[in-house]
Amino acid sequence: MSESPALEIKGLCKSFGSLEVSRNVSLALERGARSALIGPNGAGKTTLVNLMTGVAKPSRGSVSIGGEDVTGLSQAGRVKKGLARTFQINNLFREMTVLENVYLAASEQAGVAGDPWRPAARHRGVFEDVIDALEMLRLTDEANTVVRHLPYGKQRLVEIAIALSLKPKILLLDEPAAGVPSVEVEWLLDVFMGLPKDLSILIIEHDMDIVFKFARKIFVLVQGAMLMSGTPDEIAASDEVQAVYLGRSLEGRER
Amino acid sequence: MQPDPISPRARILQALAADPRTRLLHGHRFRAAEALPWILAVVAYFAFDTYLSLGIAVLIAVLFTLSLDLVIGYAGIATLGHATMYGFGAYTAGLVAVHFTREPVTGLFMAMLAGAAMAFVTGRLFLHLRGNTLIMLTLAVVVMLSEVANKATSLTGGEDGLRGVVIDPLFGIYKFDIWGRTRYWYVLVTLFVLFLIARRIAHSSFGFALQGIRENDRRMSAIGSPVPWRLLVIYTIGGAFAGAAGGLLAQSNRFVGLDVFSISTTSTVLIMLVLGGTGRLYGALVGAAIYVMLHHFASAINPFHWMFVVGAVLILTVLFAPAGLFGLIEKLSSPLNRRAR
């Protein structure tokens, strides 16, 4: 039996008025994929993430998770199917502690967040999941710190801890290194390398160092369309990609 | 090899359990100070037995405010229409007593059911909305129901109010005497039971999920929370509680006036909640008790300008104690709490 891709998008289109921000984009993430999505500013990377996660609805095209069409499914519904994301700009429960932030996600994942009767403290298994996520990101010492009081870099880690505690099959990391002090970037990369092998990861990142160290496959998005995809070596060798990243338009180069 | 009897995970959990800041693990435990308001309520019965009707008004206001705290304080639903469920509960209890049965517990139960049903229907219609739109729509329902109750004179008595609400002795034994002795205990016990339920909800996983929605509802959707459903559930529970408060009012006064559906009723409950402090349950107790007593005594001193005193207290509270009077009490009584926040 051939396995369906963990996440697959086919022919996604999205326009705001006359502005086409996604133009017939297709990509697939295999199980255990370590992929990256790159592209210059305004290439439509975040729009694509929103289309994948269900925040925005495509004008055309389809999204499927493990071979199942989820185009009509809500964001929450897709999370239940195993699709988790982190946000480009920290999007946390700022007045709550790190522990509480991760608990919210883990209790939702465990299906106990609708239980109005048992005290939160009695859901022992949820706490174990929370602690596992905190340990993986070395956040246990900050468990009782209110998120607002954490340095920005640490808040990025809380983002990732939340996503991991959802026990996803597919993880979309939207510019995870943005705002992280350079000394911590290396360590962040370690964390990514240590994530479970069968988790499919798509990282959307500007930092080429991270992209080339992490990804085994790279997708290049330019002006809403997929320019090319390939191994890091292929991408590094591509004249087209070079041109885009050196800020020269292709037409200009040919002239 | 012998496995380590205490895994690192268990050790971390122990450390968290030992840390008083870990609200998730400690919140549901009863603290001694929590007995205080209930002791006061019992003492008040014996010490001020000529003020029992004021006491009953306080207890009903506390329940009404508590129901709003679940909706606004915990879930962050911006409503100005909480009188809808209160008034609906009051008329239901009144009409049940007039037309069906004078047995009080049945009437109270029907009032809760009516409040819940009303909340479920209006919540279903409105809860996807936010901010000013939601505030205006929920307020509009109060005003519309007031008009309906006013016109439907054959059913509600219109402007004269619903009269002839007679209540049988509680459990067939305790008569609702004019001094309010039975009524006081009836209302107090109802409030106590519902308070325990509210407290249970507040410290459950669901209660925390509501606080997550209040803090950042989009983020909750992104972690897979069915936000509209969660809001509808708590809105319905809050509606049942408000319906109970209205039902107790009808049974206790043996009368339902049109003013249960007034803008004044719907805004007063919000004032009481803000005064006491939102999202902390005991804020509702403190806020409602202080407001009703302030109203009673200040209006006795000066029936025309008593609102001035209430207004001044409210201004001072929101300026200098944004977490409400109970938030202030928390802050002053526990330096530990202050660090945790």
CB atoms A104 and B200 under 8 Å = no
Burial tier of B184 (Cβ tally within 10 Å: 0-12, 13-18, 19+): buried
- More confident of the two residues B303 and A145: A145
* Exposed/middle/buried for residue A139 (C-beta within 10 Å: 0-12, 13-18, 19+): buried
Contact A65, A42 (CB under 8 A): no
- Cα dist from B175 to A184, B25, B55, B91, B99, whole Å: 73, 44, 18, 22, 20
pLDDT band with cut points at 50, 70 and 90 for residue A109: very high
Looking up residue A36, the CATH number of its domain turns out to be 3.40.50.300
Write down the pLDDT at residue B13.
87
* Same domain (yes/no): A227, A180: yes
* pLDDT value of position A254: 40
Q: Check residue B3 and give its pLDDT.
A: 56
Q: Are residues A1 and A57 in the same domain?
A: yes
Positions of chain B with pLDDT under 50? 337-341
Any domain includes A221: yes
What is the distance between the alpha carbons of residues B174 and B144, in angstroms, rounded to a whole number? 38
Which residue of chain B is at minimal alpha-carbon distance from A147?
Answer: B341
**Does residue B128 contact residue B230 with C-beta atoms inside 8 Å?**
no
- 8 Å CB contact between B218 and B54: no
Helical segments of B277-305, H only:
282-301
Q: What is the pLDDT of residue B18?
A: 87
The residues with which B240 forms a beta bridge, in sequence order, are none
Does B21 sit within 8 Å of A104, measured CB to CB? no
Last residue of a domain, one of A124, A144, A167: A167
| Position A142 in a domain | yes
Shared domain for A179 and A250, answered yes or no, is yes
Same domain (yes/no): A176, A54 = yes
Listed residues A114, A136, A167: the one ending a domain? A167
DSSP assignment, residue B1? -
Is A116 in contact with B340 (Cβ distance < 8 A)? no
Identify whether residues A184 and A250 lie together within a single domain: yes
Dihedral angle sign, alpha carbons of residues A86, A89, A93, A94: positive
Chain B residues close to A126, C-beta within 8 Å:
205
CB atoms within 10 A of CB B64: 30
Q: Do A242 and A131 belong to one domain?
A: no
What's the pLDDT score for residue B338? 45
What are the Cα distances from residue A123, in Å, to A139, A243, B173, B224?
21, 54, 43, 18
| Residue at A217 is within a domain | yes
Residue A60 is part of which domain span? 1-82+169-255
Is A149 in a helix, a strand, or coil?
A: helix
Q: What confidence score (pLDDT) does residue A252 get? A: 42
Same structural domain, A67 and A181 = yes
A156 lies in the same domain as A189: no
The reply to whether A252 and A173 lie within a common domain is: yes
First-to-final CA distance of chain B: 44
User: What pLDDT was estimated at residue B331?
Assistant: 84
Domain boundaries, chain B: 31-340
Residue A225 burial (CB count, 10 A): 15
pLDDT at B4: 57
What is the C-alpha separation between A229 and A214, in angstroms, rounded?
Answer: 15
The mean pLDDT of A40-67, rounded to a whole number, is 91
Which residues in chain A have their CB less than 8 angstroms from residue B200's CB? 116-117, 119
Asked if A156 and A183 sit in the same domain, the reply is no
Cβ neighbours of residue B129 under 8 Å, at least 6 residues apart? Answer: B137
| Secondary element (H or E) of residue B254 | none
Cβ(B259)–Cβ(A143) under 8 Å?
no
Which of A167, A201, A221 is the last residue before a domain boundary? Answer: A167
Mark whether A72 and A184 lie in a shared domain: yes
Whether residue B25 and residue A166 make contact (CB cut-off 8 A), yes or no, is no
Is the CB of residue B227 less than 8 Å from the CB of residue A76? yes
Q: Dihedral sign, CA of A105, A108, A114, A115? A: negative
CB-CB: which of B9, B21, B219 is closest to A91?
B219
* Residue A236's pLDDT band (cuts 50, 70, 90): confident
Residues A174 and A160 in one domain: no
On whether residue A87 sits in a domain, the answer given is no
The structural domain count of chain A equals 2
* Domain membership flag for residue A104: yes
Residue A254 maps to a domain = yes
Tokens representing A89 are: 């700009």
d(CA A131, CA A110): 14
Q: Check if A99 contacts B (Cβ < 8 Å).
A: yes
